[in-house]
Amino acid sequence: MQAMMWLELLDEIWRECWKPPDRRPPWAWAEEHVHAIPYSPVPGRFRADNSPWLKEPLEALVDPRVRVVSVMASIQSSKTTIGELGLCYIIANLPGPTLWLDQTDDDARDQAESRIGQLFEDCPAVKALFPSNRHRMKTATKHFSNGMTLWVLGAHNKTNLQRRSIRWLIGDETWRWPNGHMAEAEARVTAFGWLGKCLFLSQGGEEHDDTHRKFETTDQREWTFQCPECELRQPWKWENVEWSKDARDETGEWDFAQIRATASLRCEGCGHQFEDSDRTRRRLNTTGRYVAQNLNASPENVGFHWNALCAMSWGRLAELYLRAKQAARMGDLEPLKIFYQKRLALPWRDFVDDFRLEIEPSGYRLGESWESEAALDAKGRILEAPFAPEEAAAPMRILTVDCQMDHLFAVARGWAADGSSRLLWHERLLTWDDVDELQERFGIHSNLVFVDAGHATYDVYRECAKRGWTALMGDRRPTFLHRLRDGRKVHRFYSPRRKVVLNRTQGCSVFYWSNLNIKDMLARLRRNQDPERGPTWEIPEDAAEDYLKQMESERRVKKGGKWLWQQIGDRPNHYLDCEAMQVCAAVMLKLVGREAGGDAPEGEEEGAGD
**SS3 of 504-554:** CCCEEEEEEEEHHHHHHHHHHHHCCCCHHHCCCEECCCCCCHHHHHHCCCE
Q: Is residue 336 part of a domain?
A: yes
**Three-state SS at 171:** strand
Q: Is residue 318 part of a domain?
A: yes
The domain in which residue 467 lies consists of: 375-597
Contact status, residue 120 vs residue 137, Cβ threshold 8 Å: yes
Q: Is residue 321 part of a domain?
A: yes
490 sits in which H/E element: strand 489-492
Q: Is residue 12 part of a domain?
A: no
Give residue 318's Cα distance to chain centre.
Answer: 13
**Three-state SS at 212:** helix
- Measured CA to CA, the distance from residue 199 to residue 240 in angstroms comes to 31
Q: Which DSSP string do the residues of 14-31 spell out, in sequence order? A: HHHHHSPP--S-HHHHHH
**Three-state SS at 414:** strand
Q: Which DSSP string do the residues of 395-407 spell out, in sequence order? A: ESEEEEEEE-SS-
Please check whether residues 40 and 69 belong to one and the same domain.
yes
> Which candidate, 454, 451, 472, 455, places its Cα nearest to that of 463?
451
Find all residues with CB under 8 Å of 603, minimum gap 6, and list them. Answer: 478, 562
Contact status, residue 115 vs residue 38, Cβ threshold 8 Å: yes
Please check whether residues 210 and 64 belong to one and the same domain.
yes
| Ramachandran bin of 491, using left for φ above 0, alpha for ψ from -120 to 50, beta for the remaining angles | beta
Please check whether residues 133 and 51 belong to one and the same domain.
yes
pTM as predicted = 0.68
Q: Is residue 602 part of a domain?
A: no
Please check whether residues 153 and 179 belong to one and the same domain.
yes
- Among 192, 216, 240, residue at a domain's last position: 216
Q: Which pLDDT score, from 0 to 100, does residue 606 have?
A: 34
Find all residues with CB under 8 Å of 148, minimum gap 6, and list them. Answer: 90, 91, 95, 96, 97, 98, 129
DSSP classification of residue 45:
S
Q: Is residue 189 part of a domain?
A: yes
Give residue 590's Cα distance to chain centre.
Answer: 37
Please check whether residues 526 and 557 belong to one and the same domain.
yes
Please check whether residues 169 and 283 belong to one and the same domain.
no
Contact status, residue 210 vs residue 179, Cβ threshold 8 Å: yes
Q: Which pLDDT score, from 0 to 100, does residue 605 have?
A: 35
Please check whether residues 153 and 56 belong to one and the same domain.
yes
- Measured CA to CA, the distance from residue 528 to residue 329 in angstroms comes to 15
- Measured CA to CA, the distance from residue 178 to residue 182 in angstroms comes to 8
Q: Which pLDDT score, from 0 to 100, does residue 609 have?
A: 32
Find out whether the peptide bond into 235 is cis, omega within 30 degrees of 0.
no
Q: Which pLDDT score, from 0 to 100, does residue 603 have?
A: 35
Residues of the chain with pLDDT under 50: 352, 355-357, 596-610
Please check whether residues 268 and 334 belong to one and the same domain.
yes
CA dihedral (399, 402, 407, 413) positive or negative: negative
- Measured CA to CA, the distance from residue 103 to residue 176 in angstroms comes to 6
> Which candidate, 38, 37, 34, places its Cα nearest to that of 24?
34
8 sits in which H/E element: helix 2-18
SS3 string of 441-473?
HCCCCHHHEEEECCCCHHHHHHHHHHHCCEEEE
CATH code, domain carrying 165:
3.40.50.300
Please check whether residues 254 and 140 belong to one and the same domain.
no
> Which candidate, 166, 145, 144, places its Cα nearest to that of 153?
166
User: pLDDT tens digits, residue range 313-354?
Assistant: 999 999 999 998 887 766 577 888 899 999 999 998 755 455
Distances in Å between the Cα of 572 and the Cα atoms of 218, 399, 404, 568 are: 32, 20, 11, 9
- Measured CA to CA, the distance from residue 33 to residue 523 in angstroms comes to 57
> Which candidate, 42, 40, 73, 56, places its Cα nearest to that of 308?
73
Q: Which pLDDT score, from 0 to 100, does residue 266 have?
A: 97
Residue 412 phi, psi (nearest 5):
-115, 130
Q: Name the domain count of the chain.
A: 3
Please check whether residues 123 and 270 belong to one and the same domain.
no
- Measured CA to CA, the distance from residue 185 to residue 162 in angstroms comes to 8
Q: Which pLDDT score, from 0 to 100, does residue 569 have?
A: 82
Length reported for the chain: 610
- Among 154, 184, 216, residue at a domain's last position: 216
- Among 184, 216, 248, residue at a domain's last position: 216
CATH code, domain carrying 566:
3.30.420.240
Residues paired with 348 in a beta bridge? 206
Contact status, residue 382 vs residue 374, Cβ threshold 8 Å: yes
- Measured CA to CA, the distance from residue 153 to residue 140 in angstroms comes to 7
Contact status, residue 567 vs residue 580, Cβ threshold 8 Å: no
Q: Which pLDDT score, from 0 to 100, does residue 608 have?
A: 33
Q: Which amino acid is at 378?
A: A
Find all residues with CB under 8 Å of 205, minimum gap 6, and list them. Answer: 174, 175, 176, 211, 212, 341, 347, 348
Q: Which pLDDT score, from 0 to 100, does residue 111 have?
A: 87
Q: Which pLDDT score, from 0 to 100, does residue 600 have?
A: 37
Please check whether residues 127 and 33 belong to one and the same domain.
yes
Q: Which DSSP string do the residues of 324-378 spell out, in sequence order? A: HHHHHHTT--HHHHHIIIIIS---B-SS----TTT----S--TT---TT--EE-T
Maximum Cα interatomic distance, the chain, rounded to a whole number of Å: 125
Q: Which class for 167: exposed (0-12), middle (13-18), buried (19 or more C-beta within 10 A)?
A: buried
Please check whether residues 198 and 281 belong to one and the same domain.
no
- Measured CA to CA, the distance from residue 248 to residue 262 in angstroms comes to 12
Q: Is residue 294 part of a domain?
A: no
Residue 521 phi, psi (nearest 5):
-65, -40
Q: Is residue 510 part of a domain?
A: yes
